[in-house]
Structure 1
């Protein structure tokens, strides 16, 4: 499926992932919130957003080429620098910058801990890229990892700044 001229791999796998993720989220959110002391509503939102992010990123692509983990690693430093220089350069890169923002914001709001959002923003894109390297038709990209991580960390820091400002100047 194409959205604004960007190919978004939405398939029946995506729907299945959304259904499974929603079911797991609805089962886990109350025990998670009770055990951790996190905000219950934001805990549910965090789990739902996490499952939807994974459902969108783990579906197979159109090509059925055998994936490899080596595609994740840049072969030359110049190739890495060139791809990093393009961050935010087109709509696909902008979407990569924004894809983790909702789940990271929800995690910071649920936990009231910026560090949890930052760790999620650093670890989740790595997991996504490694798993994508094993899914037919998907590609693993260091530039995608960097865009996801930069966007997620930025979302965590901005959310923390807004929370801090609201505490300093209530009302």
Structure 2
């Protein structure tokens, strides 16, 4: 995260020797930080996860951001709202990548999802299409790292929105 330029303020507080609390003031910074599960800080891996009131410092969080690919998704479903509706069958959608938003890679859509890695991950989701039709959409989970040695906890999007600092899109 060294040298990373944020659009707004990011408050950082030390919880203990292994955990920090990051509180970005803007949603764009929240999503940027959250878009990667692992960051390198001072040449050490740092895992990022969302704050949870049940957080216990000596227990790893099972909630993790994972990029998901939806290969062969019909192009008319590339709208952010449609992709988020599909992704909610897996976890909490956070954002779609630029190529998906611009429809410049129509072979697949990518969406970042917060999911509970302690639960089984579905290999496909059922799409309900117009006129009573349905189809199965295959899901590919992109996983860069499974466990890191250091963790960061950060503010939730609802805290940012509650403070009135959510960016307009």
Report the TM range for the smaller structure's normalisation.
under 0.3
Which structure features the higher share of strand residues?
Answer: 2
| Structure ranking higher on relative contact order (CA contacts 8 Å, 6+ apart) | 2
TM-score (norm 1): 0.23
TM-score (norm 2): 0.23
